[in-house]
Amino acid sequence: MHKHPGMDRPLRFGIFLAPFHPSGQNPTLALERDLELITRLDELGYDEAWFGEHHSAGYEIIASPEVFIAVASQRTKHIKLGTGVSSLPYHHPLILADRMVLLDHLTRGRVLFGVGPGALPSDAFMMGIDTQRQREMMEESLEAILALLDGSEPVNRETSWFSLRDARLQLRPYTHPRFEVAVAAQVSPAGPRAAGRFGCSLLSLGATNRGGFDVLGSHWQTLEERAAEFGQTVDRANWRLVGPMHIAPTEIQARAEVAYGLADWIDYFRNVAALPLAPESDDPDQLVEAINGSGLAVIGTPEMAVAQIERLQTQSGGFGTYLFMAHDWADPAATKASYELFAKEVMPRFQGSAQRAVESRNWAAENRPAFIGAATTAVIGAIQSHHTEKAEKEAKQGAPST
């Protein structure tokens, strides 16, 4: 099993579903495909699924991760379901905390609470929110939400944008003492600083893009320093790294499959999300070369996926969960096949789930002569015993009566 020094637990896997669906397609069917995918990931043994919150730009079309989680929870059995992420400046903290507690009960403890300041400037603009204040607003809200979830005393807060007066939740969380709370991080230290201050988990959304990858080590150092400053305890096992992949049995096949939608995804980040991830080109081969070469993504084989995760382990110093950044690079069938291939060939390498079976098989093979010899002796003994018993019965039946 591939483990980073100091990380003695199997790596977990999941999906971060913004989602990314090119505008112009049937949104009802796109959302249904998302639900079908989560159901399949649950069957394949993936650990987590996180859902985004966006309100503009027509590409990331889940407006309420809480509503989506409620539906997904009724179609799945085991997979944990998280808000990825709830934009705290968009909501009154009491209402959002209350909804998350309700979900915790409805899912019987399968809910995760990811938080952030809000990703799309167009969302903030429509609500009259100053983008320069979003991170400050996020920390104010998170502090209030954690106090409400703690529930040890009524919460009173007065900020420029919300008030809490003797506020308390009417239900305590289903999970004791509360569900996991994770703070989103991109390149700036704002996410790790907030996570460290409040003792929350870290959700590194840009772990594989050049800026995000470069600061992985410093992000965790910042989080640990802030945690120590505020008397909090943090654990690398609760650190999640997000990155995109599409794999197939051969690299040639994987490259051919992403010609379906890779260019649309790149165009969205270049022209709408203002995050150029590849050169100005619509040629699928050039785009694959660029994003594979930069380390942003893996479009290739299971072995290439293994190498990417090992690269992230080395750069970060160790983490707990790898999350696929979901996308529509390939058609739905090929996309599902990619997740299935990953579950079959990559996940066991980092979880040790196939190791015992291999060891048992090798042990049985190495000791085959002794085992076969003993089994043969037992068979011969059984045959001899049968014939002896039969002969004795026949002798009794043939003996003259007295």
pLDDT-above-70 percentage for the chain: 96
Indicate if 43 and 191 belong to the same structural domain.
Answer: yes
Q: How many Å apart are CA 206 and CA 340, to the nearest integer?
A: 24
Indicate if 222 and 264 belong to the same structural domain.
Answer: yes
Pick the more confident residue, 368 or 11. 11
6 part of a folded domain: no
The answer to whether residues 288 and 278 touch, using CB atoms and an 8 Å cutoff, is no
Neighbouring CB atoms inside 10 A of 25's CB total 12
Indicate if 130 and 263 belong to the same structural domain.
Answer: yes
Indicate if 343 and 364 belong to the same structural domain.
Answer: no
Whether the per-residue pLDDT at 5 is higher than 50: the answer is: no
The answer to whether residues 330 and 233 touch, using CB atoms and an 8 Å cutoff, is no
Whether the per-residue pLDDT at 219 is higher than 90: the answer is: yes
Whether the per-residue pLDDT at 276 is higher than 90: the answer is: no
Region 143-154: what's the mean pLDDT?
A: 98
CATH of the domain at 335: 3.20.20.30
Among the ranges given (39-53, 147-161, 374-388), the one the predictor scored with the smallest mean pLDDT? 374-388
Nearest partner of 14 among 44, 59, 49, judged by Cα: 49
Indicate if 183 and 82 belong to the same structural domain.
Answer: yes
Indicate if 343 and 379 belong to the same structural domain.
Answer: no
Residue partners of 187: CB distance under 8 A and separation at least 6: 206, 211, 212, 215
For the chain, give the secondary structure using H, E and C: CCCCCCCCCCCEEEEEECCCCCCCCCHHHHHHHHHHHHHHHHHHCCCEEEECCCCCCCCCCCCCHHHHHHHHHHHCCCCEEEEEEEEHHHCCHHHHHHHHHHHHHHCCCCEEEEEECCCCHHHHHHCCCCHHHHHHHHHHHHHHHHHHHHCCCCEEEECCCCEEEEECCCCCCCCCCCCCEEEEECCCCHHHHHHHHHCCEEEECCCCCHHHHHCHHHHHHHHHHHHHHCCCCCCHHHEEEEECEEECCCHHHHHHHHCCCHHHHHHHHHHCCCCCCCCCCCCHHHHHHHHHHHCCCEEECHHHHHHHHHHHHHHHCCCCEEEEECCCCCCHHHHHHHHHHHHHHCHHHHHCCCHHHHHHHHHHHHCHHHHHHHHHHHHHHHHHHHHHHHHHHHHHHHCCCC
Indicate if 307 and 381 belong to the same structural domain.
Answer: no
Q: Chain-wide mean pLDDT for the chain?
A: 93
Q: State the pTM of this model.
A: 0.91
196 part of a folded domain: yes
2 part of a folded domain: no
Please tell me the predicted confidence (pLDDT) of residue 278: 61
Whether the per-residue pLDDT at 363 is higher than 60: the answer is: yes
Indicate if 101 and 36 belong to the same structural domain.
Answer: yes
pLDDT band at 147 (very low <50, low <70, confident <90, very high): very high
User: pLDDT tens, 11-26?
Assistant: 999 999 999 999 999 9
400 part of a folded domain: no
Whether the per-residue pLDDT at 8 is higher than 80: the answer is: no
Q: Which amino acid type is present at position 144?
A: A
Number of domains observed in the structure of the chain: 2
The answer to whether residues 86 and 119 touch, using CB atoms and an 8 Å cutoff, is no
User: pLDDT tens, 57-105?
Assistant: 999 999 999 999 999 999 999 999 999 999 999 999 999 999 999 999 9
Indicate if 284 and 381 belong to the same structural domain.
Answer: no
214 part of a folded domain: yes
Whether the per-residue pLDDT at 396 is higher than 70: the answer is: yes
Region 334-363: what's the mean pLDDT?
A: 93
235 part of a folded domain: yes
Whether the per-residue pLDDT at 125 is higher than 80: the answer is: yes
User: pLDDT tens, 167-177?
Assistant: 999 999 999 99
Indicate if 260 and 386 belong to the same structural domain.
Answer: no
Indicate if 238 and 372 belong to the same structural domain.
Answer: no
Q: Which amino acid type is present at position 135?
A: R
Among the ranges given (143-147, 252-256, 280-284, 300-304), the one the predictor scored with the smallest mean pLDDT? 280-284
Among the ranges given (171-185, 191-205, 310-324, 343-357), the one the predictor scored with the smallest mean pLDDT? 343-357
Domain range for residue 363?
358-393
For tokens 């397609």, what's the residue?
Answer: 25
Please tell me the predicted confidence (pLDDT) of residue 387: 86
402 part of a folded domain: no
Pick the more confident residue, 11 or 187. 11
Per-residue CA distances from 125 to 18, 52, 55, 92, 120 (Å): 20, 18, 11, 18, 9
Dihedral sign, Cα of residue 73, residue 76, residue 77, residue 81 = negative
Indicate if 264 and 374 belong to the same structural domain.
Answer: no
147 part of a folded domain: yes
